[in-house]
Amino acid sequence: MPKSVFATLAQRMMVLIVTKKEFAKYLARDGHCYHCGIADETLVPQHRRNRGMGGSQSRSEPSNVVVVCSMVNGLFEASETASRAAQKYGWKLRAGQEPESTPVFDAWDGKWYLFDNKFGKREVPPVGGN
Ligand SMILES: [Zn+2]
């Protein structure tokens, strides 16, 4: 029925929203684009887990969001190739990967981090295998 369809859509819209207040916390945690290191007004929150990969409730959990510039964000969203390359660095997640347990690479300082769901992060050993 249409009613339930709308309810589902509304819920999806809700979890996609990152408020300005929340984004300020992401900026405080990440500080710059994890891909190129730029720190200007083009920074946006990027969801690491793609829609349709399950766990829709976790989409807006802090561990599922990484700050990148809008140029890179657009590239990841538009290009399957770029998105797959991003999986190597944890900027995007593969099916079955959990944001809280999958390290993400900060290309600017060259370190790997694990995000928690309280806007915190801790450095972890480099992910091998390049
Ligand atoms: Zn960037």
Is pLDDT at 113 greater than 90 in this prediction? yes
Between helix 80-87 and helix 70-78 the angle, nearest 10°, is: 110
> Given this model, what pLDDT does residue 100 score?
96
The pLDDT, as a whole number, for residue 119 is: 96
Q: Evaluate whether residue 115 is within a structural domain.
A: yes
Q: How far is the CA of 19 from the centre of ligand 1 (A)?
A: 21
DSSP code of 38?
Answer: -
Residue 118 confidence (pLDDT) above 80: yes
Tell me whether residue 129 is in a domain: no
- Cα–ligand 1 centroid distance for 78 (angstroms): 15
| Across 50-77, average pLDDT | 81
- φ/ψ of 85, rounded to 5, equals -60, -35
| Comparison of pLDDT for 60 and 33, the residue scoring more | 33
Å from CA of 91 to ligand 1 middle:
12
Give the count of domains, the chain. 1
* Among 128, 57, 51, residue whose Cα is nearest residue 93: 51
Tell me if 42 is assigned to some domain. yes
> Is residue 130, in this structure, part of any structural domain at all?
no
Evaluate whether residue 99 is within a structural domain.
yes
Question: What band does 53 get if pLDDT is binned at 50, 70 and 90?
Answer: low
Which pLDDT value is given to residue 115?
A: 98
Q: What's the 10 CA to ligand 1 centre distance in angstroms?
A: 30
- How far, in Å, is the centroid of ligand 1 from the Cα of 68? 5
For residue 36, how far is its CA from the centre of ligand 1 (angstroms)? 4
Cross-strand pairs, 113: 104, 123
Between the CA of 1 and the centroid of ligand 1 the distance, in Å, is 42
The arithmetic mean of pLDDT across residues 72-97, rounded, is 94
Task: List CB contacts of 67: < 8 A, sequence separation 6 or more.
Answer: 26, 27, 29, 30, 31, 32, 33, 34, 43, 44, 45, 46
Pairing of strands 65-69, 43-47: antiparallel
pLDDT for 12-47, tens place per residue?
554 457 888 999 999 999 999 999 999 999 999 999
Distance in Å, CA 97 to ligand 1 centroid: 23
pLDDT score recorded for residue 18: 85
Mean pLDDT of the chain: 86
Domain ranges, residue 102:
2-124
